[in-house]
Amino acid sequence: MADFDAQVRESQEQVATAQAKIAELTSRIETARQKMKSGDDAMIDIENASLDDVHAHADVMNANIAELIMGLDDVTAAFSKDFDEMRSKTGWESFVSFFSKHKADSMREERMRSASIDDKLQDLIGKSDVITSLLQGQLNVLNTQKAQVETNLSETLEDREATVGELESVRAEILAMDPKIIELENKISVEQDAAARTKLETELAEANKRYNALVQDEQVKVAKSQTLERYIEKGKTWVDSLQNQAATQMVLINKLQTDTKQRVVLYDALTKSLKTAQQQDVAHKINEIGTETDKQAQQAMAQIGAATNAKMADMLEAHEGHMVFARKVLEEKAKADERFARRFQQIVEKHDKNLYGA
């Protein structure tokens, strides 16, 4: 992956931008809460367009990282060439075999004993770690922001619960005043004594004053309740968004970690098999399976397929004295690949059909 470093730098920039956008939107939600406390209109600070912008950028960022991961799968598939070269005779060994087959076989066995793909494998693991670090950093930010918003949301839910309780109390008092006002109005309509009538009218005026104050208070509390409700709705939407973004990061991290485990176990087993002179027939079969894997990779996900690995594992497990292959890793790999493919179907399709730049 010649352009791996450039892609990583691009991903780092995208992650930094995403984190800035996420922090900004969380800040707007907090600002809105402060404005609500002071009675100002808060909804202008929480715009759907801002959330859409965060989602759009997150999609681009995750697509870029998914392509990096697919590139690592390509590098893994290319390892079959190294094993093929380890198994095959070099030009010099073929030349020597014309004069001494024993000498050529000895040279080949010595070359295989000293052969190593450790450097390449370590480089691959190092690249996986770089991507994992990016993803873990983003996941930490998402979880921190989610916890922050959830705290605000919890407080706001308590505020709304209290407001709704006060609103119900006001409405109950308004309902209780209706019959009293009607009763006073009826008494006034039939009262003939001027002094008594004046007293009733004073009581009615006070009752109406209290009634109007309660109605006004009701309107204020309804408005506050509606504002809190809209805030809660926006907050819940943002929490759900952060949760979904975090789930995507975990899918990517899981695939990378599972891929790394599989690469280490698989290639350690293959190397041991190839380096054991008396197992050349097994090595030849493994190479054939590796070739078939490369063909299948173009049709599937450019990686060593779980089915092929299962067949390979069956053979390798027959030689437990020389190698170990963890079937559990294969099962984890298949699950991680399935989750990755489901979430990044378009990226996988573009990779498999070589539609980059299309």
Q: What is the pLDDT of residues 331-352, one digit of tens each?
A: 777 788 888 877 777 767 766 6
pLDDT at 223: 85
d(CA 257, CA 90): 36
Q: Which residue has the higher pLDDT, 347 or 72?
A: 72
| Verdict on whether the full-model pTM lies above 0.75 | no
Q: Which of 347, 349, 353, 354 is nearest to 66 (CA)?
A: 347
In tens, the pLDDT along 38-68 reads: 666 555 556 666 788 888 888 888 888 888 8
Confidence band, pLDDT 50/70/90 cuts, at residue 84: low
**Tell me, what amino acid is at 260?**
T
In tens, the pLDDT along 252-275 reads: 888 888 888 877 776 666 666 555
First to last CA, the chain: 20
| Average pLDDT of the residues of the chain | 76
Of the listed ranges 38-52, 116-130, 152-166, 167-181, the least confidently predicted one is: 38-52
In tens, the pLDDT along 190-214 reads: 888 888 888 988 988 999 999 999 9
* Angle in degrees, CA 232, 237, 243, rounded to 5: 125
- Give the largest CA-CA distance in the chain: 141
* Angle in degrees, CA 65, 262, 350, rounded to 5: 35
Mean pLDDT of 123-144: 88
What's the number of CA atoms in the CB half-sphere (13 Å) around residue 164? 10
In the predicted model, is pLDDT for residue 282 greater than 60?
no
Count of CB atoms situated within 10 Å of the CB of 343: 16
In the predicted model, is pLDDT for residue 158 greater than 60?
yes
DSSP string over 310-351: HHHHHHHHTTTTT----HHHHHHHHHHHHHHHHHTHHHHHHH
Q: How many residues are given for the chain?
A: 358
In the predicted model, is pLDDT for residue 183 greater than 60?
yes
pLDDT at 167: 92
Q: Which residue has the higher pLDDT, 314 or 259?
A: 259
In the predicted model, is pLDDT for residue 171 greater than 70?
yes
Q: Where are the domains of the chain?
A: 4-352
